[in-house]
Amino acid sequence: MEWWQDLRASWQVQSLYQRFETVVALVLTVLVALVIVVALFRLTVAVVGSLLLQAWNPLDHRVFQAVFGDILTLSLIHI
């Protein structure tokens, strides 16, 4: 939580525009984090549910490529 203490310390010397930018950056960070969490949850449910119900054959090349494509897409969002 050191970043929070730094933010609070710098808040006093920031201009109104800098405070606005800080708030917008924090809101966007929270929104992106929520999107990543929801995407991870939906991917997990889809993959586990389909593999357990054997709706997907993980040895099928198209299924393998689709699942790992979704996983890599999600991991690239994080980067």
Residue 54 confidence (pLDDT): 67
How many whole angstroms separate alpha carbon 13 and alpha carbon 24?
A: 18
Q: What ranges in 1-60 are assigned the alpha helix state H?
A: 2-11, 16-52
Kindly report, residue by residue over 40-76, the tens digit of the pLDDT: 898 888 878 777 776 667 677 787 787 788 888 777 6
| Tens-place pLDDT, residues 3-29 | 778 888 888 888 889 989 989 999 999
Residue 33 has pLDDT above 80, yes or no: yes
Does residue 1 have a pLDDT over 90? no
Which pTM value belongs to this model? 0.67
Q: How far, in Å, CA of 72 to CA of 64, rounded?
A: 12
